[in-house]
């Protein structure tokens, strides 16, 4: 290697030669390191001549190693780069640099073993582990390694590399090199630098971190390393932090590494050289040289390189030494096997290239040249991250709608980052690492989903897509199925009911049904096109012409342009909603017909909600296209169609924006009217709903639970009746004009307590928690301000019955028990008595509240698809078609069912990831928990897992105006 260029050449020439030799496109993540004349390990400066850095080249080995560790390995676009990173992890583990607990170490080694020798065989495993030491004290972990390796059956070497990096990146010591130092008090600590900033360790425990955004300046003076921080009023740190290192050379070396990391991860482009001083030079002239991470990502995404195919194969099945003797082809574009080690020997007397195998702690590329040559070949890349995108999801074989997580021994997939609501903290332990403890083998192309009959079709042996765009497209398909079912509630079920009864005027019929039928027809064809495209994308049909069909933008663009032709029907939906409510108010027969229809299982939501579904669906298309445009680089073949479709749908949504806000409020007022007894004129022009929820009201009998309803002009409080209709009886009303509010915990000795003083009446109320109280305070104050700005006091309500101050006791049997779909359902789940499952009743039972902002967010966060469900004490997983809408999960046996088996309202539930002690050991599992009720759900991929988490979190943690837009702002599309 050294003979090919002059030692007077700058260091960059040598690094480029290594990268060119390996056909390594993303060589910017790597560096060359060597011991200097004082035996301090330093990085080769790319700008200085090599001869000025390496004083005795005959005795120096330059090592090619990973220098910059990105926060997420999916940012590495090339499979060869990921493979070299995996070798670096293997080396760091062997050298004790990647410290972690025993479970994590055993899991990491099990993936290394899978990549080296393939599928589990206990005898081979133990023989291999006896010959290869991957970590000090490996013998104590051998049983765990073998057990974990058992779970990786069918996993390719590329997938093993991916899993190895996914686990390693979550470890606190990933990519960390410790530099001994002392703080001002003389305490021994270690300094390190990472993509995020500068880290401080005591032993292997991180005790502090200084993010790049907080660091104003880095400098060194002799042995002292100085960090100057930006001023922060909330910080207790001094402006400048000082650390003492062993020598000036140690200090300068660490300073250089920090400068390079800051530039690589934070700057958009390589910093320009400073002008040389005319007379005197002060300080170091060192600067970062090379492309920044952003430039590397842009270069690879834009295809600025010649693609060299690389396929991972098991690296220890053949002897490395036998491969090393094969002849090389000097000018071959694809390097052949083992031309030489990438431990660069710049002179005589250095170690022979193959002298140290990687598992024993050899250099990153002591084996990499041999293995890299062996891995390269004509076969396509089999990266689990897809075509350089890498959302980490492992492809699930899909046969029509019968796909979900397979129950075969898991190909351990990357675990998504722990959500903010999760209960796990700190560095990853076993519970975060997706381990399947179940044994057994199954054909890799068999679908073993639960609840499927033995004659279920086998999946195609073709590899299924893992690109995030595929799962986004699949979400369009699953939600479109639900949307079509919702349209059929009107076009088929409601129309059939109306045709049997002569209670709806012809004018109303002609306003509703002719404006829904064209939509149903159009979306039936749209769904067909999406599913055909997904079949091509997956390779289930016409696999020979599959290449051009891994996109969805063209289908979306064509159909959204078709939707514009149906805009006239969409404009009619608000008119139909108003006309239906007017007709119900004027006709007892029509009101009875609609109420009876709402009691049918097929009408799983309030009837008037279905009339707004087409407007809501436009927003869903917009969200999907925004996600696609954000996911694709501008150079992607699908980007232009997606962007054009997004522009079209954005225009449609903007035109209907005002109508949507008005109609949602109108619909909500009419819904609330059905839940209330004692008020006739709830729906009047100008009235807006703000919040409803459960509060305790202080009276002579103590605190009594009441339901409160806040509007922009009045606050109502009610008690829950024991009538057949389960409605809430209005007890009192406080006009907001002239109202004042003050916290009064100390006065009454009640936690989370408020006094509301109206012009004629004052009440004292208490919330169930401080967050609930804060939400009410914000909204009541906003409503008071709105009332003050209005023309004057609101009109009086007309009570249909005199106020009743008695608080009826809840029925003893009305306790929640949500144990099984077939069990007797709760007051929240059962379909009767009438209106027992509305949001008002859910808030009553869960002692919580919900606002119009929450309802607006809920409209946008709708999702449907297959999930596996498990109860706390059950063994098996049950496959269900699940629809999430209106703060509720609705469970169906399959997507073809016309009505849900049961529902689970989510307000008040907590959303977490199962802990290790819960013994789940499955991928993509989330947990829903309320009091003693615990449910586990499994998704099919990382993308769908994150989407379910996102939408469910929107229902389990309701909005406060402190972090949510106002109602009108929430629909700025």
pLDDT band per the 50, 70, 90 thresholds, residue 797: low
Given a cut of 60, whether residue 632 has pLDDT beyond it is yes
Given a cut of 50, whether residue 833 has pLDDT beyond it is no
- Give the residue-averaged pLDDT of 909-920: 90
DSSP letter at 214 equals G
Given a cut of 80, whether residue 4 has pLDDT beyond it is no
pLDDT band per the 50, 70, 90 thresholds, residue 710: very high
Instruction: Please answer whether residues 901 and 895 qualify as being in contact, where contact means their C-beta atoms are separated by less than 8 angstroms.
Output: no
Tell me if 368 is assigned to some domain.
no
Span of 74-78, 333-337, 432-436, 500-504 with lowest mean pLDDT:
432-436
- Sheet with 863-871, side-by-side order of all strands: 902-905, 888-892, 878-885, 863-871, 933-938, 925-930, 910-912
Tell me if 505 is assigned to some domain.
yes
Span of 44-58, 231-245, 802-816 with lowest mean pLDDT:
802-816
Tell me if 16 is assigned to some domain.
yes
3-state secondary structure string across 779-812: HHHHHHHHHHHCCCCCCCCCCCCCCCCCCCCCCC
Q: How far is CA 348 from CA 60, 152, 634, in A?
A: 9, 44, 50
Span of 55-64, 518-527, 947-956 with lowest mean pLDDT:
55-64
Tell me if 642 is assigned to some domain.
yes
Instruction: Please answer whether residues 340 and 1 qualify as being in contact, where contact means their C-beta atoms are separated by less than 8 angstroms.
Output: yes
Q: What percent of the chain has pLDDT over 70?
A: 73
Same domain, yes or no, for 665 and 687? no
Report the pLDDT value the prediction gives residue 890, as an integer from 0 to 100: 95
Nearest to 407 by CA among 947, 950, 925: 925
How many domains in the chain?
5
Instruction: Please answer whether residues 654 and 634 qualify as being in contact, where contact means their C-beta atoms are separated by less than 8 angstroms.
Output: no
Given a cut of 80, whether residue 25 has pLDDT beyond it is yes
Same domain, yes or no, for 845 and 700? yes
Of 105, 137, 169, which marks where a domain is finished?
Answer: 169
- Give the residue-averaged pLDDT of 839-859: 88
Report the pLDDT value the prediction gives residue 59, as an integer from 0 to 100: 78
Span of 148-152, 304-308, 488-492, 555-559 with lowest mean pLDDT:
304-308
- Give the residue-averaged pLDDT of 843-866: 89
DSSP 54-114: -S-GGG-EEEEEE----S-GGG---HHHHHHHHHHHHHHHHTT-S---HHHHHHHHHHHHH
Of 805, 820, 852, which marks where a domain is finished?
Answer: 852
Same domain, yes or no, for 164 and 202? no
Of 146, 169, 192, which marks where a domain is finished?
Answer: 169
Report the pLDDT value the prediction gives residue 958, as an integer from 0 to 100: 52
Same domain, yes or no, for 147 and 214? no
- pLDDT tens-digit profile of 886-911? 999 999 999 999 999 999 999 989 99
Given a cut of 80, whether residue 276 has pLDDT beyond it is no
Tell me if 293 is assigned to some domain.
no
Helix (H, G, I), strand (E, B) or coil at 864: strand
Q: Where are the alpha helices (DSSP H) in 676-721?
A: none
- Give the residue-averaged pLDDT of 837-849: 85
Same domain, yes or no, for 238 and 116? no
Same domain, yes or no, for 118 and 192? no
Tell me if 452 is assigned to some domain.
no
pLDDT band per the 50, 70, 90 thresholds, residue 793: low
Q: How far is CA 34 from CA 247, 261, 286, 335, 555, in A?
A: 18, 19, 18, 25, 55
Tell me if 151 is assigned to some domain.
yes
pLDDT band per the 50, 70, 90 thresholds, residue 677: confident
Q: What percent of the chain has pLDDT over 90?
A: 44
Where in the sequence is the domain holding 105, given as residue range(s)? 11-169
Report the chain's mean pLDDT, rounded to a whole number. 77
- Angle separating helix axes 588-598 and 607-631, nearest 10 degrees: 50
Selected residue with higher pLDDT from 532 and 811 = 532
Given a cut of 60, whether residue 830 has pLDDT beyond it is no
Given a cut of 50, whether residue 362 has pLDDT beyond it is no
- Sheet with 344-345, side-by-side order of all strands: 41-43, 30-35, 61-66, 344-345
DSSP 122-185: HHHHHHHHHH---STT-GGGHHHHHHHHGGGTT--HHHHHHHHHHHHTTSTTTT---EEEE-TT
Same domain, yes or no, for 509 and 628? yes
Tell me if 376 is assigned to some domain.
no
C-alpha span between 708 and 768 (Å, rounded): 13
Same domain, yes or no, for 776 and 885? no
pLDDT band per the 50, 70, 90 thresholds, residue 816: very low
Same domain, yes or no, for 17 and 137? yes
State the CATH number of the domain containing residue 639: 1.20.900.10
Selected residue with higher pLDDT from 344 and 102 = 102
Report the pLDDT value the prediction gives residue 436, as an integer from 0 to 100: 29
- pLDDT tens-digit profile of 287-308? 788 889 988 988 887 766 666 7
pLDDT band per the 50, 70, 90 thresholds, residue 54: confident
Helix (H) or strand (E) holding 485: helix 468-488
Nearest to 265 by CA among 82, 92, 418, 67: 67
Same domain, yes or no, for 164 and 186? no
State the CATH number of the domain containing residue 136: 1.20.80.10
Report the pLDDT value the prediction gives residue 888, as an integer from 0 to 100: 93
Same domain, yes or no, for 125 and 31? yes
pLDDT band per the 50, 70, 90 thresholds, residue 447: very low
Kindly state the tokens that stand for 481.
Answer: 């199925």
Q: How far is CA 16 from CA 22, 32, 54, 478, in A?
A: 10, 11, 17, 48
Same domain, yes or no, for 607 and 710? no
State the CATH number of the domain containing residue 268: 2.30.29.30
Span of 273-282, 619-628, 847-856 with lowest mean pLDDT:
273-282
Report the pLDDT value the prediction gives residue 5, as an integer from 0 to 100: 59
- Give the residue-averaged pLDDT of 335-360: 36
Furthest CA-CA distance within the chain: 104
pLDDT band per the 50, 70, 90 thresholds, residue 238: low
C-alpha span between 514 and 930 (Å, rounded): 44
Between the two ends of the chain, the Cα-to-Cα distance in Å is 59
DSSP 384-436: TTTTTT---PPPPP-STT------SSP-PPPPPPPPTT-S--SS--GGGS---
């Amino acid at each position: 290697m050294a003979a090919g260029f002059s030692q007077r050449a700058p260091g960059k020439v040598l690094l480029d030669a290594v990268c060119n030799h390996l056909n390594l496109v993303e060589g910017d993540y790597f560096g060359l390191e060597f011991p200097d004349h004082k035996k301090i390990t330093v990085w080769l400066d790319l700008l200085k001549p090599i001869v000025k850095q390496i004083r005795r080249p005959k005795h120096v080995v330059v090592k090619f190693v990973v220098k910059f560790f990105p926060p997420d390995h999916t940012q590495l676009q090339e499979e060869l780069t990921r493979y070299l990173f995996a070798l670096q992890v293997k080396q760091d583990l062997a050298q004790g640099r990647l410290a972690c607990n025993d479970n994590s170490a055993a899991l990491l080694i099990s993936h290394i073993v899978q990549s080296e020798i393939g599928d589990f065989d206990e005898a081979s495993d133990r023989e291999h582990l006896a010959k290869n030491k991957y970590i000090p004290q490996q013998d104590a972990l051998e049983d765990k390694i073998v057990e974990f390796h058992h779970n990786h059956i069918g996993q390719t070497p590329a997938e093993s590399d991916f899993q190895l990096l996914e686990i390693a990146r979550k470890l606190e010591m990933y990519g960390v090199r410790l530099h001994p130092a002392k703080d001002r008090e003389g305490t021994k600590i270690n300094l390190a630098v990472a993509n995020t900033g500068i880290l401080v360790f005591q032993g292997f425990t991180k005790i502090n971190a200084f993010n790049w955004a907080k660091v104003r300046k880095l400098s060194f003076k002799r042995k002292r390393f100085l960090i100057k921080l930006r001023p922060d009023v909330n910080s207790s740190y001094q402006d400048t932090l000082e650390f003492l290192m062993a020598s000036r050379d140690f200090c300068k070396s660490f300073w250089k590494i920090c400068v390079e990391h800051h530039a690589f991860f934070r700057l958009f482009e390589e910093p320009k050289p400073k002008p040389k001083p005319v007379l005197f030079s002060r300080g170091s002239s060192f600067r970062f040289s090379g492309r920044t991470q952003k430039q590397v990502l842009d270069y690879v995404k834009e295809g600025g390189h010649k693609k060299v195919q690389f396929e991972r194969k098991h690296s220890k099945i053949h002897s490395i030494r036998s491969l090393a003797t094969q002849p090389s082809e000097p000018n071959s574009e694809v390097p052949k096997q083992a031309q030489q080690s990438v431990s660069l020997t710049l002179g005589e007397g250095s170690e022979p290239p193959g002298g140290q195998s990687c598992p024993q702690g050899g250099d990153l590329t002591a084996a990499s040249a041999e293995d890299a040559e062996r891995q390269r070949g004509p076969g396509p890349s089999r990266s689990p991250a897809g075509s350089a995108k890498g959302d980490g999801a492992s492809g699930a074989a899909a046969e029509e709608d019968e796909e979900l997580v397979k129950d075969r021994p898991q190909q351990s997939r990357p675990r998504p980052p722990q959500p903010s609501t999760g209960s796990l903290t700190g560095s990853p332990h076993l519970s975060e690492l997706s381990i399947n403890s179940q044994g057994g083998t199954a054909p890799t192309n068999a679908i073993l989903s639960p609840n499927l009959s033995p004659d279920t079709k086998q999946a195609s042996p073709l590899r299924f897509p893992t690109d995030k765009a595929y799962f986004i497209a699949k979400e369009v398909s699953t939600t479109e199925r639900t949307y079509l079912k919702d349209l059929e509630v009107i076009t088929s079920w409601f129309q059939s009911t109306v045709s049997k009864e002569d209670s709806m005027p012809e004018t109303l019929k002609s306003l509703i049904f002719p404006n829904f039928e064209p939509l149903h027809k159009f979306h039936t064809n749209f769904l067909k096109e999406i599913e055909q495209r997904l079949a091509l994308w997956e390779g289930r049909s016409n696999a020979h012409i599959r290449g051009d069909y891994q996109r969805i933008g063209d289908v979306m663009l064509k159909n959204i342009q078709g939707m514009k032709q149906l805009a006239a029907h969409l404009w009619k939906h608000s008119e139909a909603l108003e006309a239906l409510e007017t007709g119900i108010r004027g006709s007892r027969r029509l009101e009875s017909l609609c109420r009876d229809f709402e009691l049918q299982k097929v009408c799983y939501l309030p009837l008037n909600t279905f009339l707004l579904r087409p407007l809501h669906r436009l927003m869903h298309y917009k969200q999907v296209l925004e996600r696609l445009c954000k996911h694709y680089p501008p150079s992607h073949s699908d980007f232009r169609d997606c962007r054009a479709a997004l522009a079209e749908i954005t225009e449609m949504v903007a035109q209907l924006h005002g109508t949507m806000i008005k109609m949602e409020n109108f619909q909500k007022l009419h819904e609330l009217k059905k839940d209330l007894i004692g008020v006739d004129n709830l729906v009047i022009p100008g009235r807006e709903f703000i919040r409803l929820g459960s509060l305790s009201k202080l009276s002579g009998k103590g605190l009594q639970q009441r339901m409160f309803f806040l509007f922009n002009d009045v606050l109502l409080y009610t008690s829950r009746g024991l009538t057949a209709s389960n409605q809430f009886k209005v007890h009192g009303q406080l006009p907001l004009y002239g109202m004042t509010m003050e916290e009064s915990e100390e006065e009454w000795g009640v936690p989370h307590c408020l006094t509301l003083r109206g012009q004629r009446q004052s009440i004292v109320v208490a919330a169930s928690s401080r967050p609930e109280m804060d939400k009410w305070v914000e909204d009541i104050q906003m409503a008071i301000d709105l009332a003050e700005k209005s023309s004057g006091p609101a009109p009086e309500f007309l009570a249909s019955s005199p106020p009743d101050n008695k608080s009826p006791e809840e029925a003893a049997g009305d306790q929640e028990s949500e144990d099984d779909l077939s069990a007797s359902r709760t007051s929240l789940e059962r379909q009767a008595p009438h209106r027992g499952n509305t949001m008002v009743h859910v808030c009553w039972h869960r002692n919580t509240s919900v606002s119009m902002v929450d309802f607006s967010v809920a409209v946008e966060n709708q999702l449907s698809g297959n999930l596996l469900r498990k109860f706390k004490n059950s063994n098996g997983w049950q496959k269900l078609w699940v629809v999430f809408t209106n703060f509720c999960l609705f469970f169906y046996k399959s997507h073809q069912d016309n009505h849900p088996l049961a529902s689970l309202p989510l307000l008040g539930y907590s959303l977490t990831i199962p802990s290790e002690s819960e013994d789940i050991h499955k991928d993509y599992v989330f947990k829903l928990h309320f009091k003693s009720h615990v449910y586990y759900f499994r998704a099919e991929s990382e993308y769908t897992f994150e989407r379910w988490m996102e939408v469910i979190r929107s229902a389990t943690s309701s909005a406060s105006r402190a972090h949510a837009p106002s109602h009108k702002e929430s629909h700025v599309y």
